Structure formats: structure tokens, C-alpha cells
């Protein structure tokens, strides 16, 4: 929206568009969210791409590659957010998820789109205020944040949306290139501050309660185990 003549003549800030990916071979959640400077998040699109387990690995990765390339070209996101993997054992499932992540990261890099990885604890804390929230709580908050009539299903769709919201609420301040650590703290992610009295909660010491929980979860995730009970890879 353009301001009326006689005002400042400046255009309203453009929302930050983030494409979130919950990687996986059987189900890969892909979501696009626009977040305004006042932190209001709006759903643009969401889908889950899948392939049967009996299909060969090359064809399964090709399905993800084709889908992510189509979505990147169609929606032109400013940033891409991917779940950071945790694993205890070098299982086929974990390997497949890592391979799917690589396809997404390469597709974004080919277009010069910055990519960031977020741990499950960071995502949970960002959208619910608790780094130990369960999937139902995350889905409920995503539904509320995006003002949806019904919860997004399956869980992979909700997780992809949560990833996009998390990255946007961090201010998209990851810079160019893949970021796997030293993520911007909530106190410094001020590009999209929560207005006083807004849904983010009462501010305490420059950050909301949710942001404080978010930071604590981030710090714990660097030296602890993720929601799959394993160490970071």
C-alpha cells in the first residue's frame, strides 16, 4: 500500500516472505508465509510432497527437487528455513531426511536465496513460548498465529509453517549463505518487534516471555539432545 500524497511518500514496508521446509522422503512439508513488520503472519501456501517407501532413492529425491524448484520459482521467497537434523543412529530415515535437506538447500543456493537451519527446540519456543511443546501445541499456535479456520494437516505441513514463522520472527537476520549456528538472539532480532500490547505478550527487559523462553531453548539445544533424542549432525 502506498501512502497518500502529502504524507511521507514512502511505501509501506514489504512483508518478509519465508519458505519453510520440514524435510523428509515420505512426507516433505513445504510452506510459504508472509510476515509484516508488526509480526503479523499470513499464510501464502502450504503443501506436503510425498513418495512411497518402495520407490528408488533417486526418484524420491527427484520428486522433492521438482517440487521445491517449482515453489521457489512460483513464490520467490526472501529466505528459506529448514529444520536442523538431530540423530542418534545413522539410520536410513535420518539419512533420507538429510538427503532431502540437501536437495532443498542446493535449490535455494542456486537462486542466491539465503538458507537457515532451525532446531526443533527453537521452533517450538518461537511459536509456543516453550521449547518442550508437543506437536499438538505447535499446530494449535500455528493455527492461531496464521488465523486459520482449521489446523493445518498433516503435522508436516504445520511444522513447515512453524519453521517459516520462526525464521521471520527472528527478523530474517541470518545474512547470506547457510547458517548453522550463532543464530540471532531474540533480543537482537528487532526488525519485526511486537507492538506494545500485541499478541507477543508483555515485554520484560526488552523481550517478551516467549522470546525469553525461545532464547533459553536455543541455548539448551546447542549442548543437549533434540526431540528425536539424539545428538546434532
Active site residues: 22, 83, 156
Measured CA to CA, the distance from residue 189 to residue 184 in angstroms comes to: 6
26 within 8 A of 54, measured Cβ to Cβ:
no
Q: What DSSP string describes the chain? A: -BPPTTS--PBPPPPEEEEEEE--SSEEEEEEEEE-TT--EEEEEEEEEE--TTS-HHHHHHHHHHHHHHHHHHH--SEEEEEPPEESS--HHHHHHHHHHHHHHHHHHHTT--EEEE-HHHHHHHHHS-TT--HHHHHHHHHHHTT-SS--SSHHHHHHHHHHHHHHHTTSTT-SS-B-SSPPPTTT--SSPPPTTSTT---BTTB-HHHHHHHHHHHHHHHS--TTSSEE-
Q: Which residues contact 84 (CB under 8 A, 6 or more apart)?
A: 117, 118, 119, 120, 180, 232
Amino acid at each position: 500500500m502506498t501512502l497518500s500524497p502529502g504524507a511521507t511518500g514512502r511505501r509501506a514496508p514489504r512483508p518478509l516472505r519465508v519458505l519453510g521446509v520440514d524435510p523428509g522422503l515420505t512426507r516433505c512439508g513445504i510452506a510459504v508465509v508472509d510476515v509484516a513488520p508488526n509480526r503479523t503472519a499470513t499464510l501464502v501456501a502450504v503443501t506436503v510432497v510425498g513418495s512411497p517407501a518402495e520407490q528408488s532413492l533417486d526418484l524420491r529425491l527427484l520428486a522433492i527437487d521438482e517440487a521445491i524448484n517449482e515453489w521457489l520459482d512460483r513464490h520467490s521467497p526472501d529466505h528459506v528455513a529448514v529444520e536442523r537434523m538431530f540423530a542418534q543412529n545413522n539410520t536410513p530415515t535420518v539419512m533420507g531426511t538429510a538427503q532431502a535437506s540437501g536437495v532443498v538447500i542446493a535449490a535455494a543456493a542456486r537462486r542466491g536465496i539465503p538458507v537457515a537451519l532451525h532446531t526443533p527446540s527453537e521452533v517450538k519456543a518461537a511459536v509456543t513460548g516453550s521449547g518442550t511443546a508437543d506437536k499438538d501445541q505447535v499446530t494449535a499456535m500455528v493455527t492461531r498465529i496464521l488465523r486459520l479456520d482449521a489446523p493445518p494437516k498433516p503435522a508436516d505441513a504445520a511444522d513447515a509453517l512453524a519453521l517459516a514463522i520462526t525464521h521471520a520472527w527472528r527478523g530474517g537476520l541470518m545474512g547470506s549463505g547457510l547458517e548453522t549456528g550463532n543464530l540471532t538472539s531474540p533480543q537482537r532480532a528487532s526488525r519485526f518487534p511486537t507492538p506494545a500490547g500485541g499478541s507477543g505478550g508483555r515485554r520484560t527487559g526488552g523481550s517478551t516471555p516467549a522470546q525469553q523462553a525461545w532464547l533459553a531453548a536455543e541455548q539448551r539445544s546447542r549442548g543437549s539432545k533434540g526431540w528425536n533424542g539424539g545428538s546434532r549432525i
